[in-house]
Structure 1
């Protein structure tokens, strides 16, 4: 794929990914409520979901995706349920555990990765970008195997930058909350944000 096409794709993806949505809300709320531990695994899962939709778009499988609408509906609700689970944990966790980060450290990276993947597969924002907007940006019928690999690499690179920025900002903001009262407020606020992201996904 030519450099100009990659730059157009990367720019469009950066703008779409950086704009707040359920995925970004989930990552930020997670970091605010539990610290940066586990955020990388969760973000990788989110990025893998983007690659799945990119693959569907390039292979022209939008119609197949519609045919398997029921499966993706189950995945969507599974992602929403996972966010609600995290929201519940954040809402009910004592302030001390948030500061220590013990609960986060105990979570399995594979579980976090699958949670991020389910979130993206059920999130309407990346679906619209890859299946509706991307064909207007690139001629997907001309994408070669090498071009596909370049697009996947660009996707991971762009999302890594966007997620790193949000994780870094959320980590800095979290350090401002040091008292138990402030941590409890942060805990419940981020739990509410996570529940809102789950509702936004389930309602679409």
Structure 2
């Protein structure tokens, strides 16, 4: 049974829509992937960001302390793995060839890298968990939350976060058609350096 009222659902939708539109690391990642590799890469990066937000929402609803206790040392190991992989993605982004955005066949492996970049750049922002822990109770009673409430919150995240990031990917793709190869290369360097920095931060903070 749904415990959230329509006013709360609409308020949550509006708040998440505004927050998703704010400039952030995920926006830069999605935009750079789309501008340099084509809209499909921006789309997959956006899907990774959405999955990261869904994971954060579930963690916030279930409790970060419970998750840490349940995972134990594996929680720390997971941070190391994420840091190394994110750094590797950053290096590959810097080394990647700039796509001319033609209708050539897209490499599935490169799409998975774009998805992983979006996911890990989101998961690396551990403050987001604390944000959701303080944000969600404003709209729903987390102590008496129903499964239908969780489904509504996740659907809201998909529509707002996903919609906004995909829109950013579309804009970056359109502008990317007018951006020179040199500027696309600079965008790749910026995005790659960002991923490496976040990956290193995860490693030294683990």
TM-score higher than 0.5:
yes
Q: Matches of 1:15 and 1:71 in 2, distance apart?
A: 35
2:169 is matched with 167
Q: Matches of 1:185 and 1:69 in 2, distance apart?
A: 44
2:39 is matched with 36
Aligned length: 197
2:16 is matched with 13
Shift of 1:159: 1.3
- Gaps of at least 5 residues in structure 2 are none
| TM-score, length of structure 1 as denominator length | 0.78
Quickly say closer, same or farther: Cα 1:88–1:56, change in 2 above 3 A: closer
Query: Of 46, 53, 57, which aligns to 2:56?
Result: 53
Output one character per residue of 1:46-87: Cα deviation in whole Å (capped at 9) or x when no partner: 21121111112222x221244457545554554454444444
1:199 is the counterpart of 2:197: yes
Query: Of 147, 156, 159, which aligns to 1:157?
Result: 159
Aligned CA-pair RMSD: 2.9
Q: Matches of 2:195 and 2:21 in 1, distance apart?
A: 16
Query: Of 140, 147, 159, which aligns to 1:145?
Result: 147
1:107 is matched with 108
Shift of 1:34: 1.3
Quickly say closer, same or farther: Cα 1:94–1:45, change in 2 above 3 A: closer
Output one character per residue of 1:87-118: Cα deviation in whole Å (capped at 9) or x when no partner: 433433445xx215699811335554344333
CA contact (8 A) 1:38 1:105 kept: no
CA contact (8 A) 2:86 2:196 kept: yes
